[in-house]
Structure 1
Amino acid sequence: MQVTLEELKTYRINGSPKGITSVCSAHPLVLRAALRLGRDSNSSVLIEATCNQVNHQGGYTGMQPRDFAALVYTLADEEGCPRQLIILGGDHLGPNPWKHLLAEEALLEAEKMVSAYIEAGFSKIHIDTSMGCEGEPTALADELVSQRATRLIKVAEAAAARSGQSLPLYIIGTEVPPPGGADHLISTLEPTDPHAARRTLAVHRNALRDAGLAAVADRILGLVVQPGVEFGNSNVIHYQREKARGLSAVLDIEPGLVFEAHSTDYQGQQPLSQLVEDGYAILKVGPELTFAVREALFALDLIASEMFAEYPERNLHRLVEKLMLDKPNGWQSHYHGDEHQRYLLRHYSLSDRIRYYWTEPEARTGVDTLLNQMRGVTVPLPLIMQYLPGAEQFAECRFEPEEAIIWRVLKVLNYYHRACRVN
């Protein structure tokens, strides 16, 4: 069942809330899994790129928005997923990649990025100007955030008019979790204060009106809030709906909106279902999906080590460890502790910052070596049971390693799909 973004609020008002999974990943196998699920269930596929991952300068993937869109559509065609099911979104679009610069310099780059996203056909735009730039406090006042958000929305509107793209839907909000999860052990987490959520909406609407963009307020799809869900490197805070009842009730006053929940990774079926029931209709997930990719790759690495004398023991694991030590920028400021603790986090952290390394030439070579080693062989059932439990259908037949990895990602996506109640 295809559910459009605009319909999400209507389903909630009618007492039959539905949701949509926001797949925040650029990994081709994650994208294939999402597109395959959309094809098989005839449901919308919302795929989002983040500002650090994809921007007009290339981001850490090396892709500009038009490149990312082309990748998604190419994979969709290969998977037989109709393009009309696909919704492209831009996440955390704002000065974050350039926050080390003075605010005006960072915002000029953010303007270029927003224009590039709109011109590439991205129709769901999360504007995030909540972070301080050089010389500013880490957290900014709502008024300043809304002024900067309005500036970027104005740029987006102009880009849509100039390029002939449809006018975008916007997500706003000032209480935005850190991309990729928290860096520390989290013991408690409070939901967004309902009064703060309403004030954020009012301040943004006023800023848009003052800028002559009052009509755009009708295209504010939702608000990013903190419902009380998060994950750190080693633990997860699960949704407790009783703590968020006051926040959820805001939607009774603002029936034209939905809430967007970030960092819903690792919540599991029941908490995700409760989030959708309570109005958090957009569930963003990313690291859990690439964690599943990494988990499957390391499982295949172990299987190959057991099956083939010519395959070096844990070859991929050792290669990626060396790569991360040689190029520590992707994890060093996020992982703390003694040497062994940092080793464990490099490979097994829930934030999965190893995902930044799969595009490196050395990692690509290691993955290709592994997949080529495993492709077309017959894997004994006991090895599948040992290293890929639940994937017994791949044993004792011609093995296709990419299919096993997609299967593992789909295990995650399927419980999101069920939580969203779109079938």
Structure 2
Amino acid sequence: MPAADSPIATLLAAHRRGEHVGIYSVCCSHEQVLLAAMQVALRYDTLLLIEATSNQVDQFGGYTGMTPPQFRDYALRLAHAQGFPVERLVLGGDHLGPNAWQKRPADEAMANARDLIAAYVAAGFHKIHLDCSMSCAGDPSPLPDETVAARSADLARIAERTARDAGLPAPVYVIGTEVPVPGGEASLATGIQVTRPEAAARTLEIHRQAFAAPDLAPAWERVIAMVVQPGVDFDHSDVHHYDRSAAAALSDFIEGQPRIVFEAHSTDYQTEPSLHALVRDHFAILKVGPAATFALREALFALAAIEDELLPKGEHLSHLPEVLDRCMLEHPSHWQNHYSGDEQQLRLLRRYALSDRCRYYWGEPRVRDAVEHLVDNLRRHPPTPTLLSQFMPEQYREVVAGRLAPEPDALIQHKVFGRLAEYARACARNQAGARTAFETSAAVALSER
């Protein structure tokens, strides 16, 4: 597939022609988030880019237990169930490289990374983020840009060969050396350094040289974006918001480069005006992940509070927040190296941190059972308007207006819908009309499923 035939490349070419258009990437595997994302894409008439992260989905299953073909089939099942047109669904792989095997020697880590890339591409993932920015065991730290580029080119060669052998469209690529930490920073106390234009120029040139081999020349023409740090990030409790003036030189730099746009990671919790500004400033690919599952957690905790108030005494409650916290305490591997503090501080972080490490636990059997129990209880005992007003005021207004059913799944998806809709409005062509439509009937599709 030539770059011009790629739906993402076509969209980004329109951006480079001066259209205020971009694409948002939903980096999540949770069913409720993906269903909400499909409703958002339908409502705003956008492509839906769903990306799986290397530690989430890999050739061994990742923390979701899914391999790339299984994740593809899962996304397609949801699309068919939701009536979402599969031709508007694009799958991507995020942070594909030795990320999950950093503690192993580089040769071993890169061998796994090659298998990872092959598995993703063979499964039909079209947008490939080549991320070799991390040091492996025995590597210098930080890793020299030349090594990052050489390893990325190595993985691109695997991707090209895999797509060709499988008879699949050739992938599009994202490169970069200054890649923010997946899932947010541990702390913003030391501040955020915006990538300097000279560093961005060096990254592009070193990668161009690494892709200079004849067999990689076509792949270089399909490099659509570069990851840089525009000055946006978040840690457990704070958000570093976008400052256009701080990123002005970086935006000016990319205007002089053919074809390439910037991909902005860690845009979670940015204000909607900031998302619009990022797209205007050529950060035309916006990544969102923890903010979507944070909204999911908010919805589930709100429903658990309603359940606690609503159900008759003696009724068996789900106790979802307690079940989730107990599971996190018994299996701390996903948060204990990220959170610090006394017992009360850790409890608050486990539940409410912006980094949302509890997102790793929704698939645990006990937690999944508690969610199902909660949903079942509230189907048998529908939330009253007063309790919805207390705990889910945005959803209450939609229910009262007759645009949203007071049904648990619809309430959950509407909460996530609201967060993802900010990204769609920032990226969609018809933004003014889309915003008006959102204000008047955002949840029609959700309530009429």
TM-score range, shorter chain: over 0.9
Q: Are 2:419 and 1:415 equivalent residues in the alignment? A: no
Whether 1:349 aligns to 2:353 is yes
TM-fit CA distance, 1:398: 6.6
259, 265, 275: which one aligns with 2:278: 275
Distance of aligned partners of 1:35 and 1:83 in 2 relative to their CA distance in 1, 3 Å threshold: same
Corresponding residue for residue 97 of structure 1: 100
Q: 2:447 — aligned with what?
A: none
Equivalent in 318, 323, 331 of residue 322 of structure 2: 318
1:330-380 superposed Cα distances (whole Å, 9 cap, x missing partner): 100000111111110000000101000001111111111111111153321
In the aligned structure 1, how far is the partner of 2:215 from the partner of 2:336? 44
Distance, in Å, in 1 between the alignment partners of 2:248 and 2:85 is 38
**Equivalent-residue separation in structure 2 for 1:398 and 1:231 (angstroms):** 34
> Which among 119, 129, 132 is matched to residue 126 of structure 1?
129
Give deviations 1:185-244, integer Å, cap 9, x for gaps: 446312101111111111011011147412221100100010000000000000001000
Q: Which amino acid aligns with 2:330?
A: D
The Cα RMSD (Å) is 1.6
Compute the TM-score of the two structures, normalised by the length of structure 2.
0.91
Specify whether residues 295 and 208 from structure 1 end up closer, same or farther in structure 2 by C-alpha distance, changes over 3 A only. Answer: same
- Please give the residue correspondences for 1:218-367 in structure 2 after superposition, counting only pairs within 5 Å: 218-308=221-311, 309-311=313-315, 315-367=319-371
SS in 2 for 1:183: coil
Partners of 2:340 and 2:346 within 8 A in 1: yes
CA contact (8 A) 1:128 1:172 kept: yes
**Equivalent of 2:111 in 92, 95, 108:** 108
1:56 and 2:59 are equivalent in the alignment: yes
- CA, structure 1 residues 310+399, in 2 after alignment: closer, same or farther (shift >3 Å)? farther
Q: Do 2:20 and 2:279's aligned partners in 1 also have CA atoms closer than 8 Å?
A: yes
Instruction: Give the AA of the match of 2:52.
Output: A
CA shift, 1:381, in A, is: 1.3
1:368 aligns with 2:372: yes
Q: Which amino acid aligns with 2:375?
A: L
For 1:407, the aligned partner's letter is H
CA-CA distance at 1:281 after TM superposition: 0.4
Per the alignment, residue 201 of structure 2 pairs with 198
Structure 1 window deviating more from structure 2 (178-187 vs 99-108): it is 178-187
Deviation per CA, 1:374-399: give whole Å up to 9, x if none.
Answer: 11533211111111111113479974
Aligned mates of 1:214, 1:195 — CA distance in 2: 24
Structure 2: tracts of 5 or more residues without a match: 1-5, 431-449
Q: Does the CA-based 8 Å contact 1:241-1:274 persist in structure 2? A: yes
| Stretch of structure 1 that moved more, 247-256 or 321-330 | 247-256
Equivalent position amino acid for 2:416 in 1? V
Which of 204, 210, 219 pairs up with 1:216?
Answer: 219
Deviations along 1:54-97, one digit per CA (max 9) or x if unpaired, are 00000000000111111111111111110000010000000010
Q: What is the number of equivalent residue pairs in this alignment?
A: 421
Amino acid at match of 1:152: L
Cα pair 2:318 2:373 within 8 Å, conserved? no
Q: Which residue number corresponds to residue 407 of structure 2?
A: 400
Q: Distance in 2 between matches of 1:174 and 1:38?
A: 31
The alpha-carbon deviation at position 137 of structure 1 amounts to: 3.2
Whole-angstrom distance in 2 between the partners of 1:88 and 1:398: 31
Offset of 1:268 from its aligned partner? 1.4
Return the letter of the residue paired with 2:393.
P
Q: Quick one: which amino acid aligns to residue 383 of structure 1?
A: L
Shift of 1:246: 0.7
Q: Distance in 1 between matches of 2:140 and 2:318?
A: 45
Q: Please, which moves more after superposition, 388-397 or 262-271? A: 388-397
Which residue identity is paired with 1:298? F
For structure 1, which segment, 38-47 or 394-403, has the greater mean C-alpha deviation from structure 2 after superposition? Answer: 394-403
- Residue 221 of structure 2 aligns to a residue whose secondary structure is helix
| Map of 2:382 onto structure 1 | 378
Q: Name the SS for the 1:112 alignment partner.
A: helix
How much has 1:159 moved relative to structure 2? Answer: 0.6
Q: TM-score, with normalisation over the residues of structure 1? A: 0.96
Structure 1, 312-321 or 393-402: larger mean CA deviation: 393-402
- More displaced, 226-235 or 250-259? 250-259
User: For residues 31-52 of structure 1, what are the alpha-carbon distances to aligned partners after superposition, in whole Å with 9 as ceiling and x for unaligned?
Assistant: 0011122223332000000000
Contact kept, 8 Å, 1:276 with 1:420, in 2: the verdict is yes
Q: Which is worse superposed, 295-304 or 209-218?
A: 209-218
